[in-house]
Amino acid sequence: MSAGYIDFDLDKGMGQAAVLVYRPWSVRTLKVKVTTQAGQPALRLHPSRVRPRDERDGRIRAEADNSDDFIVSWGGGHEAGPCLKSVDKLKAFEECVPLTSEDTSFIFFNVHHIGPDVPDDAQVTLLAYDETTGETAASITVDLQKPADLPQGVIRPSRQNGVWQLTPGQYLPLYDSRWWPSDQVTYEAQTETYPLTIREEGDKFVVDWHGRTIAAITDYTKSVLQTDKVGVAFELFAFDQWSLALRAWFFWLDKSVDDGATLGMIGRHEIPDAERFDILLRRQDGAPLLACTDMHWREMWAVALPKTTLEATLGMGWETKKKLLQDTVFGSGDHAVPEKPYNPTEKFVPRLAQREATVTTRAKGTEAHLPMLHNVAKPDARTAERLGSSDVRLG
């Protein structure tokens, strides 16, 4: 593994190998760089092990080859697995197309360690196959390895009776980007305890700090309340010396998830799919500083307004996000989308987070109206340009 991704050369065919260090009790991104010099037909990528029961019951997910401790998932509504190369068709869905000579693409899977065991290693085999003929063109087996220096006493949100509380411990994992994951999993010793809880309240997940509400995530489709069908996971990271990062994951992997749900104007959620929110919290008082989510293959950050409850919205399909993206402060009318790979969490967001965490009084600013994040500030044009990533499929 190099640069946070594994290399998968389609021209080398079957039996390739790679390594990913997984993060126990968390969701790690498996980022696959797919290349070809010769060109290939339209192909999809899919993990090899799917339980017959899941296939029969309409659950779109896979597992490790030799372990039940992991769930492997992906998004975009591609039941048969992500396209290795795709084009947007009718502005409503993606269509697989052939790979031409010297094509490169990046494919993303979510590797969710759910336990109960923490194995030293496990394997996930990915198959690049032609959906029309059923023939497999190439395969790669990824060795999932436990962190070499996994400490005792890792702090993590754990759910009991509908409430997530932090487990006792002295270590937090360092922040790990969804789209630009680190090579390794690293932990940092903590000298403080954090009074953070997450609870279910009606159609919301409410984040409290010392009993004071600091953020809320609302699912207007109400599908996420079907917790037997929608996966929910929370993670806590050490972001920098001033801030923590709370990550919320929501997985739509069950095709019956919308049975009886109130979908309203948002429409049926695509399946399979995953949504996540990252919220940077000031360590000293839990105040939200910045937040991000994903909109049609772009990571979008925003600055939280001070002394307000940060609010987020769940449940929009990617085509809705794409349309709304053009109508917000981040839309193409304000500035061009970066043409080269750009990761805002590499430099800009850490500098902004430090500023927001250390200023004596945060200016209120003008409220922005984003489709999925509310009570955030409208940035100036230069800041807006740097808060949105490039298309993550560029690498």
Q: How far apart are CA 174 and CA 178, in angstroms?
A: 13
**Could you tell me the residue ranges of all domains in the chain?**
6-145, 157-394
Using CB atoms within 10 A of its CB, is residue 114 exposed (0-12), middle (13-18) or buried (19+)? middle
* DSSP tag of 292: E
Does the structure show a pLDDT above 90 at 280? yes
In a 13 Å sphere around the CA of 318, the CA atoms on its Cβ side amount to 21
CATH classification number, 6-145, choose in 2.70.70.10, 3.40.50.300, 2.60.40.10, 3.30.365.10: 2.60.40.10
What mean pLDDT, rounded, does the chain reach?
A: 87
Which whole number is the average pLDDT over 91-112?
Answer: 89
Q: How far apart are CA 180 and CA 346, in angstroms?
A: 9
Residue of 169 and 294 predicted with greater confidence: 169
The reported pLDDT for the residue numbered 2 is: 46
Lowest pLDDT segment from 194-208, 232-246, 263-277: 263-277
The reported pLDDT for the residue numbered 99 is: 96
Distances (CA, A) of 234 to 70, 87, 182: 16, 32, 19
